[in-house]
Structure 1
Amino acid sequence: MSLFIDLHAIQSVPPSNINRDEDGSPKSTTFGGTRRARVSSQAWKRAMRNDFADHLDDSELGVRTLRMVDQIAARITTLDAAIDGDAAQQRATEVLTATGIKVEKVKPRKNDENQDEYSKTGALLFLSNPQIDALAELAVTTVGKIDRKAAKAVLSKGNSIDLALFGRMIADAPDHNVDAAAQVAHALGTHAVVPEFDYFTAVDDKQSDDNAGAGMIGTVEFNTATLYRYATVNVSVLEKNLGDPEAVARGVEAFVRAFITSMPTGKRNTFANKTLPSFVLVTVRTDQPINFAGAFEEAVDPKQGLTTVSIKELLGEATRTYTAFDAAPAASYAVTSRAVDGLDEVAATLSLRDLVTTLGDETRARLGAS
């Protein structure tokens, strides 16, 4: 049986620029004929992965880097102190190449005395810490040439929770791909947005008394937005990727908590814009995930109160969808800092801590975890 956990959030963000485009402007999109604020899914997934480190052990996490050879080499020298740095690098390259993943040498740029030659993969490579450890152990314990079958076998098991959730794609070795169990939508402004510019000055603390000018001037673009955020976890795929019901439950708990509490850090020192959602709706579904962005195709009128109306529109869209398509969820929960009319008819209200515990326990029960 399929099992999905859908998360919907309404979150207001004050003046900010948490996710920039190539020009340094806050990302945006056109939806329903009006310009909206946007925060990319990649930015928020990165913030969520960083949040995992506060709640999961290193053995449940992974590393995504171009310099995976360095990661493996460091583990090799830890396992066998007799292997020096150059030998560890060579052995790490051999064991990674044996998996089918290409490695290339990068020479330092001319006139760059601070950069040494190093090895990198053709694209960012995502491996779990247990997989990195296992490759290092294989490199240390194997005499002579690394067995390709043994090296490939390392990457067929031992997925970390973050790797199982967000997946892995390796063009060089597609047999090591991992289908993502989670999908995160781009956060979307529920209302029309107009870019604004902050003209700022900085004063030189040591300027002369007769100098009234600024030491620096500039502008930074920002916006304010009430966002609709959506993500879903395919629990069945997560179980396939992890193979352990208890790890799946811990993955669900970590994902739900991180989705709610994390935020991309762009320009945070400038704007101090960290907020939490005002409203979160979580549904457990056995048919398919459903994104309710259609609730905001018609931009919310700011004169009516963006957060309150956005919550109302979200719940209205959910109710209409459930009725029209016989799509009521198996269970619904809400976390809210606002009084919401009629919420009791739609979802059970919980605290964040109770929500995380409830979803983890429900996952364990459905998967038969001990």
Structure 2
Amino acid sequence: MSLVIDIHALQTLPPSLINRDDTGAPKSAVFGGVPRQRVSSQSWKRAIRLDFEKHLPAGSVGFRTRKVVEIVAEKIHSLDESIEMADAIKLAESVFKAAGIKITEKKVKKGDEIVVGAPEAGYLVFLSPRQIEAAAKLAIEGEGKPDKKKAKEAIDTKHSIDIAMFGRMLADDPSYNVDASVQVAHALGIHESEPEFDYFTAVDDFVEDNEETGAGMIGTVQMMSSTLYRFATIDVESLGENLGDHPAAREAAVAFIKSFITSLPTGKQNTFANNTLPELVYVAIRDGRSVSLVNAFEEPVGSDQEAGRRAEGAKKLATEERQIEETYGFVPLKAFVMGLGELGAPFADLAEAATLDELSASVAAFLEERSK
């Protein structure tokens, strides 16, 4: 059976605008018949990828861009400085064309003239540093006429950790697609909430110094505050297959857990400084299917709870896990809980208490033992 790691977290945000829609309003969703704050999975996955860049070795994280020709050309030039950038761009372009990836001319209007820039892919392409280097070496070796099979191989092997986890899709050629080994749910408020408006003014310092009245600027910004339920799951076997390295997959799984817990989308952070951490994290390692506990909050947590929403949320989460174990027999192989203060107490009979460092070490040790 496939080994999966389910990560559940409760995280409270003060008034903030961490993730907004096309109108500038906080993202929301209706669940259990009431509106709630929502933070998109894409937003938090982006934050996790940025956290990877800070803490994982160089080369572990890929690039998702249309400027793949330019990136490979720069690598070609660094490998062989005798190749001018103009020639390197042509060599790089030849690899992508051989691999069947659509390349278009980048045209920019400067004044009355249309200037042709470096060619770009017709869509975002997700490449790992090792794939970029392989493409650059093939471009030099092929001298503008690279082998099609080798070109495809260069772009479709040696995936970075984030490609292996979050997947990749190229519409022109499904053979390049990588099925994600990690699923991240939209973070969802555990209680009813709606946006509020903050009216603000900006003072003109010069006007103020001259004892004149009036604001230099006025405006409004929307904000929400919620206790969020966050959930993600890792298919450890699939991650190993995507990376082509099962020991590396175990290390990557632990890195993901840490980044999932500590990362935070940066939307309007300078305005609201909403730099919180989860108050509760429950990690369950299972040998079957993944199990979300979001339905613990189908009935929203009320505002009249004596113990507060965080404590009530922890109780409801533990109750949902306990009922699933009793009803379905889906008991984790191993489970851990991190909780501030007494928030982890409802999980006392369900999971082993741990700090962040202890959690990381314990999950790593368990995965290592299971691999033997």
* TM > 0.5: yes
Alpha-carbon deviation of 1:24? 0.3
Q: Say which SS state the counterpart of residue 108 (structure 2) adopts.
A: coil
Gaps of 5+ in 2: none
Q: Measure the CA separation in 2 of the matches of 1:322 and 1:110.
A: 65
Which letter maps to 1:366? R
Alpha-carbon deviation of 1:231? 0.2
Tell whether 2:266 aligns with 1:265.
yes
Within 5 Å, which residues of 2 pair with 1:139-218? Answer: 139-207=139-207, 208-218=209-219
Within 5 Å, which residues of 2 pair with 1:350-361? Answer: 350-361=354-365
Q: Say which SS state the counterpart of residue 225 (structure 2) adopts.
A: strand
1:232-276 deviations in whole A, cap 9, x for unaligned?
000010011112122111211110011000010000000000110
1:21-40 deviations in whole A, cap 9, x for unaligned?
00000000000100000000
Q: Say which SS state the counterpart of residue 303 (structure 1) adopts.
A: coil
Alpha-carbon deviation of 1:65? 0.6
Q: Measure the CA separation in 2 of the matches of 1:342 and 1:263.
A: 26
Alpha-carbon deviation of 1:112? 8.2
Q: Which residue of 2 aligns with 1:240?
A: 241
Q: Measure the CA separation in 1 of the matches of 2:31 and 2:73.
A: 48
Pair 1:115–1:182, CA change in 2 (3 A): farther
Q: Does the Cα contact within 8 Å between 1:28 and 1:39 map onto a contact in 2?
A: yes
Q: Measure the CA separation in 1 of the matches of 2:184 and 2:295.
A: 16
Q: Does the Cα contact within 8 Å between 1:300 and 1:309 map onto a contact in 2?
A: yes
Which letter maps to 2:236? V
Alpha-carbon deviation of 1:338? 2.8
Q: Which residue of 1 aligns with 2:91?
A: 91
Q: Which residue of 2 aligns with 1:364?
A: 368
Gaps of 5+ in 1: none
1:288-347 deviations in whole A, cap 9, x for unaligned?
001111011111002211111111111111111111111111111011113043422011
Tell whether 2:2 aligns with 1:2.
yes
Alpha-carbon deviation of 1:367? 2.6
Q: Measure the CA separation in 1 of the matches of 2:20 and 2:200.
A: 19
Alpha-carbon deviation of 1:106? 1.9
Q: Say which SS state the counterpart of residue 48 (structure 1) adopts.
A: helix
Q: Say which SS state the counterpart of residue 81 (structure 1) adopts.
A: coil
Q: Say which SS state the counterpart of residue 92 (structure 1) adopts.
A: helix
Q: Does the Cα contact within 8 Å between 1:199 and 1:218 map onto a contact in 2?
A: yes
Which letter maps to 2:59? S
Q: Measure the CA separation in 1 of the matches of 2:321 and 2:109.
A: 55
Q: Which residue of 2 aligns with 1:337?
A: 340
Q: Could you tell me the percent identity over the aligned residues?
A: 45
Structure-1-length-normalised TM-score: 0.96
Q: Measure the CA separation in 2 of the matches of 1:110 and 1:220.
A: 35
Q: Does the Cα contact within 8 Å between 2:237 and 2:246 map onto a contact in 1?
A: no
Q: Say which SS state the counterpart of residue 302 (structure 1) adopts.
A: coil
Structure-2-length-normalised TM-score: 0.96
Q: Does the Cα contact within 8 Å between 2:315 and 2:346 map onto a contact in 1?
A: no
| Aligned residues between the structures | 368
Which letter maps to 1:307? R
Q: Which residue of 2 aligns with 1:309?
A: 312
Alpha-carbon deviation of 1:111? 3.1
| More deviation, 314-323/37-46 | 314-323
Which letter maps to 2:320? E
